């Protein structure tokens, strides 16, 4: 399913706003980029996703949290840092 240009632009503007908010938050908290701070995440997913997560965890011998981390790493690598962390245009 493709995404039209108007939706892509809207999503990009939301990403820029989110990025700005995160930079402000890090500044307010006095944190540098790369400083790790743990946050709790609750996921509501169909049972089949929970089942696959548990199975992957058992097969790999790692925690379910680590499975999620690896999945996010894989997905973010596919997207690329230049897209995830855009530099605002200078125009």
Question: Domain residues for 62?
Answer: 38-91
Count of domains for the chain: 2
Give the chain's mean pLDDT.
Answer: 86
58-72 per-position pLDDT tens digit: 999 999 999 999 999
The tens digit of pLDDT for each residue in 27-38 reads 777 765 555 677
C-beta neighbour count of 25 within 10 angstroms: 10
Q: Which two tokens mark 12?
A: 């990009």
Pair (26, 61) in one structural domain: no
Q: Are residues 84 and 43 in the same domain?
A: yes
Same-domain status, 26 and 69: no
Buried b / exposed e over 41-79, threshold 16 CB at 10 Å, is eeeeeeeeeeeebeebbeeeeeeeeebeeeeeeeeeeee
């Amino acid at each position: 399913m493709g995404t039209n240009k108007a939706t892509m632009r809207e999503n990009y503007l939301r990403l820029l706003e989110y990025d700005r908010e995160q930079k402000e938050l890090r500044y307010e908290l006095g944190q540098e980029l790369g400083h790790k701070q743990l946050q709790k995440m609750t996921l509501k997913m169909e049972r089949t996703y929970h089942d696959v997560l548990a199975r992957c965890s058992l097969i790999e011998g790692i925690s379910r949290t680590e499975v999620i981390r690896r999945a996010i790493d894989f997905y973010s690598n596919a997207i690329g840092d230049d897209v995830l962390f855009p530099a605002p245009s200078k125009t």
